Amino acid sequence: MLSRRSFLAGSAAGAVALPGGRPAAAQAVLTEDGLYREPWFLESLLELSDDLEGATEKSRRFAIVWELRGCPYCRETHLVNFAKPEIADFVKARFDILQLNIIGAREVVDFDGEKASEKRLAEKYGVRFTPTFQFFPERSAGLATRKPREREVARAQGYLLPEHFLSLFKFVSERAYEKGSLPDYLKANNRASAP
Mean per-residue pLDDT of the chain: 87
**What whole-number distance in Å separates Cα of residue 138 and Cα of residue 153?**
10
Structural domain boundaries, residue 102? 27-193
Q: 105 lies in a domain? A: yes
The sign of the torsion formed by the CA atoms of 167, 168, 174, 179 equals positive
CATH number reported for the structural domain that contains residue 171 in this entry: 3.40.30.10
- In this prediction, residue 26 carries a pLDDT of 58
Q: 18 lies in a domain? A: no
Length of the chain counted residue by residue: 195
Close Cβ partners of 135 (under 8 Å, ≥ 6 residues apart): 61, 62, 63, 152, 153, 154, 155, 172, 177
Q: 9 lies in a domain? A: no
Q: 180 lies in a domain? A: yes
pLDDT in tens, the chain (195 residues): 333 333 333 433 444 333 444 344 558 999 988 999 999 999 999 999 999 999 999 999 999 999 999 999 999 999 999 999 999 999 999 999 999 999 999 999 999 999 999 999 999 999 999 999 999 999 999 999 999 999 999 999 999 999 999 999 999 999 999 999 988 898 888 755 544
Number of domains in the chain: 1
Q: 13 lies in a domain? A: no
Q: Tell me, what amino acid is at 171?
A: F
Q: 140 lies in a domain? A: yes
